[in-house]
Structure 1
Amino acid sequence: MNRWEPNARGRLEAAALDLYVERGFAQTTVAEIAKQAGLTERTYFRHFADKREVLFGGSEELAQLIAATIADQPESAAPIDAAAAAVEAMGDRLQPRRERAVRRQGVIAANPELQERELTKLASMATTIADALRERGTPSPTAGLAAETAIGVFKVAFERWTTAGTSSDLAQLIRDSFTDLKALLAEVSP
């Protein structure tokens, strides 16, 4: 094996997902992932802390996108609208990766340990949104509520997007879910 392989991270991610779908998460070892990618275990651990993390790459990139999108919103934007723009931007970023996302969600759904890690990732995104809203001057309780609401809407839209038979654009599903939320709130308003 060559010492410096191009796109080692991407190859490891693809190999892991293939093996997790084929064999299951618990039955797959890091050694098998590295071998399938044509790399060494040492290379694997240069990129990922453990065999779960290979499914959760890109979190830092999404956090930067969230913060930048919220910072770019007009000062007049309501906190929920700024948060909505951030999760829509996430949808745009994830759209080209739909096939991978569908396969990944199947692996996560079959493993409680991965479900827990997914919830941790979503909580981290909510924290990023709330922090970015606070940077704009949004009071803390309002920032937290807008962030948790936006992540809830994202989760619903993402589930619809990764469900078999859905071919919709993720950002559009996010917009539709925010519209549904507004309609739901209008029904309960005095």
Structure 2
Amino acid sequence: MGRWKPDARGRLEQAALELYGERGFEQATAKEIAERAGLTERTFFRHFADKREVLFPHANPLHESLVTALDTVPDAAAPIEAVAAALESACALFTERRELARQRQAVIAANTELQERELIKLASLASTLAEALRRRGVTDPAAILAAEVGIAAFKVAFGRWISEPGDQQDLSHLVRESLEELKAVIIGK
């Protein structure tokens, strides 16, 4: 594949996930990733600061999507309902990337350092949601609790979504289902 072909970033991402899966995150190099993608190592570093950034990009569209979606939820919605609506809306970002999400999670699960980074990313998402709730007038601790619970439910739903065979389950449905199960646990039904 020549360097002039489109979607260099996507090709690099796919090549990295393949190599991480085959050889492990630590053993794969930026040069090998670029070569597999049919690009140069220099091109790799134009798109990613390092090989971790393939898994954890600095420009995270999920943050922006959550805030944008939360801003469209009616003011009368309860904090957890606002978070649920934002999470369900953001699920559209993953619809076409299920296989990449599976590969990414397998790489993260095999590496303790990457697991820590994933937890930091989830904490950052919760913080983003809590701040957006505060701008809506939700006070603490309700803003923090709704955001943290929402991200926990999303994490559970996402895990189910990438582990279940086939494409039958919709991620947004699984998010809502996880929140309903949480409600049942809390209420005791």
TM over 0.5: yes
Task: Measure how far apart 1:3 and its partner are.
Answer: 6.9
Q: In the alignment, which residue of structure 1 is the partner of 2:156?
A: 156
Give matches, 1:91-110, under 5 Å. 91-110=91-110
Q: In the alignment, which residue of structure 2 is the partner of 1:34?
A: 34
Structure 2: how far apart are the matches of 1:74 and 1:101? 31
Q: In the alignment, which residue of structure 2 is the partner of 1:133?
A: 133
* Alignment RMSD (CA, Å): 1.9
Deviating above 4 A after TM superposition, structure 1's stretches of 4 or more consecutive aligned residues are 1-5
Is 1:80 the equivalent of 2:80? yes
Is 1:24 the equivalent of 2:18? no
Instruction: Give the number of equivalent residue pairs.
Output: 188
Give matches, 1:57-72, under 5 Å. 57=57, 60-72=60-72
* Structure 1 contact 59–121 (Cα < 8 Å) conserved: no
Structure 2: how far apart are the matches of 1:144 and 1:165? 34
Letter of the 1:179 counterpart = E
Give the match's secondary structure for 1:39. coil
Q: Give per-residue Cα distances to partners, 1:116-172, cap 9 Å, x unaligned.
A: 111111111111111111111111321111110000001111111111436411111
Is 1:186 the equivalent of 2:187? yes
1:59–1:177 Cα change, 3 Å: farther
Structure 1 gaps of 5+ residues are none
1:77–1:58 Cα change, 3 Å: farther
Task: Measure how far apart 1:44 and its partner are.
Answer: 1.3
Task: Measure how far apart 1:57 and its partner are.
Answer: 3.3
Structure 2: how far apart are the matches of 1:122 and 1:95? 19
* Structure 2 contact 80–146 (Cα < 8 Å) conserved: yes
Structure 2 gaps of 5+ residues are none
Seq. identity, %: 56
Provide TM-score, normalisation by structure 2. Answer: 0.92
* Structure 2 contact 69–90 (Cα < 8 Å) conserved: no
Task: Measure how far apart 1:58 and its partner are.
Answer: 7.7
Structure 2: how far apart are the matches of 1:5 and 1:138? 48
Give the match's secondary structure for 2:169. coil
Q: In the alignment, which residue of structure 1 is the partner of 2:178?
A: 177
* Structure 2 contact 3–38 (Cα < 8 Å) conserved: no
Give the match's secondary structure for 1:100. helix
Structure 2: how far apart are the matches of 1:165 and 1:43? 35
Structure 2: how far apart are the matches of 1:67 and 1:4? 35
Q: In the alignment, which residue of structure 2 is the partner of 1:8?
A: 8
